[in-house]
Amino acid sequence: ETGVTQTPRHLVMGMTNKKSLKCEQHLGHNAMYWYKQSAKKPLELMFVYNFKEQTENNSVPSRFSPECPNSSHLFLHLHTLQPEDSALYLCASSQHLPSQGAGELFFGEGSRLTVL
Amino acid sequence: TQLLEQSPQFLSIQEGENLTVYCNSSSVFSSLQWYRQEPGEGPVLLVTVVTGGEVKKLKRLTFQFGDARKDSSLHITAAQPGDTGLYLCAGGRMTTGTASKLTFGTGTRLQVTL
């Protein structure tokens, strides 16, 4: 079983569709993240969950709705997206002590989203 | 906003050549990480440096954190096709919780050909 698993790997949706991305981590970590990776842009942090509580929302439009039912699962619900939302969405998890600064992020393989 | 600029953006070299990738910022970071991302996969951590001036070696890869903890470099000796990928630096900030606060760089795409 790989550390962080994302499904689906590829998704094509219309602007009026509702879909969800799923992420599952088998590493026992307490923090989970959604990142957006677009061409010619740095990885953009979208949401952070720590012990199932959302601790960061980087001004993400409300058409992206995260859900974290437990420390091992993270969802990203998508509705009425725009073509510019087409990107690779990466899920990650981590576990570290604050005194150690930023810990290692373990990424999934990503979900490639295309919005028509 | 903390920005991390990487240079060059693209690099195409032949097997056996040496190269250096730079990661620069005007901000100070508590730590600096380097990741490599291969096509169809997520980024994978290569190294973390936490002390200004620190140098770490990982086989043919040498990582350095600037004295002021604002910049970093990655040097690859005798590049191989297996080194092909997107190299990302990421600056870390101290947090009060157990979640990592990372700012990712703009990325350097490396292609090594035979």
pLDDT at A95: 84
Q: How far is B86 from chain A (nearest CA, A)?
A: 11
What is the gyration radius of the CA atoms in chain A, in angstroms? Answer: 14
What are the φ/ψ torsions at residue B41 (nearest 5 degrees)?
-130, 165
User: Under an 8 A CB cutoff, do B99 and A50 touch?
Assistant: yes
**Rounded-to-integer distance, Cα B110 and Cα B6, Å:** 12
User: Under an 8 A CB cutoff, do B42 and A43 touch?
Assistant: no
pLDDT band at B3 (very low <50, low <70, confident <90, very high): confident
pLDDT at A96: 65
User: Under an 8 A CB cutoff, do A33 and B99 touch?
Assistant: yes
pLDDT at A56: 80
Task: Note whether A107 contacts B: Cβ–Cβ < 8 A.
Answer: yes
A33 chain-B contacts, CB cut-off 8 A: 99-100
The amino acid at B95:
T
Task: Note whether B44 contacts A: Cβ–Cβ < 8 A.
Answer: yes
Average pLDDT over residues B14-41: 95
- Identify which of B8, B13, B1, B10 has the alpha carbon closest to the alpha carbon of residue B79: B13
Residue with tokens 């630096």: B89
Q: How far is B72 from chain A (nearest CA, A)?
A: 16
Q: Are strands B108-113 and B10-14 parallel, antiparallel or unpaired?
A: parallel
End-to-end CA distance of chain A: 33
Average pLDDT, chain B: 93
B47-71 core/surface letters (b: 16 or more CB in 10 A; e: else): bbbbeeebeeeeeebbbbbbeebbb
pLDDT at B2: 63
pLDDT in tens, B46-58: 999 999 999 999 9
Average pLDDT over residues A37-60: 87
Residue in A51, A104, A108 nearest the CB of B48: A104
Task: Note whether A109 contacts B: Cβ–Cβ < 8 A.
Answer: yes
What would the two tokens of residue A83 be?
């073509």
Residue in A43, A49, A103 nearest the CB of B100: A103
Contacts of A50 (CB under 8 A, 6+ apart): A30, A31, B97, B98, B99
Task: Note whether A95 contacts B: Cβ–Cβ < 8 A.
Answer: yes
User: Under an 8 A CB cutoff, do A105 and B43 touch?
Assistant: yes
Contact map slice: B 72-91 vs A, CB within 8 A: 88, 90-91
